[in-house]
Amino acid sequence: MGKLMGFLEYDRRLPPDRDPIGRLNDWEEIHESLPLEAQLEQAGRCMYCGVPFCHSVIAIKGTPTGCPLGNLIPEWNDLLYRQEWDAAADRLLRTISFPEFTGRVCPALCEGACTCGIHQPMVTIRQNELTLIEHAFESGHMKPRLPKRRTGKRVAIVGSGPAGLACANWLNRFGHTVTVLERADRIGGLLMYGIPNMKLDKKIIDRRISLMREEGVEFVVNAHIGVDTPVEKLLKDYQAVVLACGSGKPRNLSIPGRDGGGVLFAVDYLTTATKHLLNADFPVPPEMNARDKHVVIIGGGDTGTDCVGTALRQGCRSVHQLEIMPRPSDERTAQNPWPEYPRILKTDYAQEEAIAKYGDDPRQYLVSAREIERDETGAIRAVITDTIRWVKDQNGRMTTEVVEGTARKWPADLVLIAMGFTGPEDTLVDALGLPRDARTNVVAEGYQTERKGVFVAGDMHSGQSLVVRAMNEGQEAAVACDRYLRG
């Protein structure tokens, strides 16, 4: 280890965030940075333990814990502490394509499994990772690395989210000629339009895409495969095709008043806000602008949180985030021991901002939307909810029941549905005639579908998940595709 007993000498310390009220005036990233000496101390807290659970993916009670990518965390923490910057960055990049993305948006499954976290705060693995890759870019270490030789094989990757980009990165490294096709006007998928700028500055994505272009990857935007480009042309022009289109069907809400203006899917709302930020000439329709509106967000996950932060920056009058699940505990319970990912209450950046502005946490737990109330003109007036409790049914499955007498009206002019996604969109999957599993995800064995030369990765293969898991799927699909191409 870099610092003998460093985990006992130094306390866990993260960089400060910008003032919650002040940062509502812009869309810049919210995190600042630590002084170099303090950051090195954080790397020195890594124990270099005998069995580092942080980089070992283990399924506990059906839930994976540890880093899905198998990052060699103790090794590059040691090198970071010793300020062997280039060696540390190279060790990091052996297993992960884009640490500048995960270092900003990953929930850090690795930290939940950190051995140090059994009895004290875990190592700041995510922040150490971000420090390493940003230093690598700033120092000029991140230069184009072209493959020594090309195989002559051409691969098309449909979708430019984390799975598609990671797959492209590795296939290009293997020497294949890679083209990434994206139906939107910018590369990045949900990294670009699903995650707001204050969490992931879009210049960070553009920086990586520029580097990949120099390394030989071709990017094509406004290419909707199966709509404006026939699928069969893709199969004819390329020796292999990798589908990485994500899980694009948002889960809907079937309650009275759902149909009509003023109700939006979260992904559409976030996309519009980011498009306007990147291009001032792109108009934000009034119905997609939260300015001077009471906003109710149905869904308590990360996407709902991003809607809170976006609505605040647009100047909403109020914002509430309705969550059907119970409030998490403040600390680990006996049912959630180490090294499971800690299911504890976390107050994210947007909740901090709402608390600072309005004095209250916008999250409301154990709440179920019953109706969206509209006036005689069809405009939304309120969201009517019930408090619920979770009970076991006669088959032992958890279900909800309404607590009588708990109906409540939340003033609303704009309702955002942030309830997750139900599977990949149909167009491309149906055009290829690919079978699906019970969750409508594309069936594949070792990432290869039933169609010869067609592979699948990311959310459309494994279901809605995290950026880090999609990235891992993209890299593993690249390995499977490479084996196929090489026979």
List the domains of the chain with CATH numbers: 6-139 (1.10.1060.10), 154-248+422-486 (3.50.50.60), 263-417 (3.50.50.60)
Q: In what order do the strands lie in the sheet with 263-265?
A: 263-265, 414-417, 294-298, 318-322, 363-364
Residue 4: predicted pLDDT:
85
Paired sense of beta strands 177-181 and 154-158, if any: parallel
The answer to whether the CB of 93 falls within 8 A of the CB of 100 is: no
How much is the pLDDT for 128? 98
Predicted TM-score (pTM) above 0.75:
yes
pLDDT of residue 199: 97
pLDDT in single tens digits along all 487 residues of the chain: 668 889 999 999 999 999 999 999 999 999 999 999 999 999 999 988 888 999 888 888 777 789 999 999 999 999 999 999 999 999 999 999 999 999 999 999 999 999 999 999 999 999 999 999 999 999 999 999 999 999 999 999 999 999 999 999 999 999 999 999 999 999 999 999 999 999 999 999 999 999 999 999 999 999 999 999 899 999 999 999 999 999 999 999 999 999 999 999 999 999 999 999 999 999 999 999 999 999 999 999 999 999 999 999 999 999 999 999 999 999 999 999 999 999 999 999 999 999 999 999 999 999 999 999 999 999 999 999 999 999 999 998 999 999 999 999 999 999 999 999 999 999 999 999 999 999 999 999 999 999 999 999 999 999 999 999 999 999 999 999 999 999 8
For residue 416, what are the β-bridge partners? 264, 297
pLDDT for the residue numbered 1: 62
The single residue listed with the structure tokens 């499994």 is 113
pLDDT recorded at residue 47 = 86
Is the distance from CB of 269 to CB of 288 less than 8 angstroms?
yes
Per residue, the 3-state secondary structure of the chain, as one string, reads: CCCCCHHHHCCCCCCCECCCCHHHHCCCCCECCCCHHHHHHHHHCCCCCCCCHHHCCEEECCEEECCCCCCCHHHHHHHHHCCCHHHHHHHHHCCCCCHHHHHHHCCCHHHHCCHHHHCCCCCCHHHHHHHHHHHHHHHCCCCCCCCCCCCCCEEEEECCCHHHHHHHHHHHHCCCEEEEECCCCCCCCHHHHCCCCCCCCHHHHHHHHHHHHHCCCEEECCCCECCCECHHHHHHHCCEEEECCCCCCECCCCCCCCCCCCEEEHHHHHHHHHHHHHCCCCCCCHHHCCCCCEEEEECCCHHHHHHHHHHHHHCCCEEEEECCCCCCECCCCCCCCCCCCCCECCCCHHHHHHHHHHCCCCEECCEEEEEEEECCCCCEEEEEEEEEEEEECCCCCEEEEECCCCCEEEECCEEEECCCECCCCHHHHHHHCCCECCCCCECCECCECCCCCEEECCHHHHCCCCHHHHHHHHHHHHHHHHHHHHC
Cα separation, 479 vs 464, whole angstroms: 22
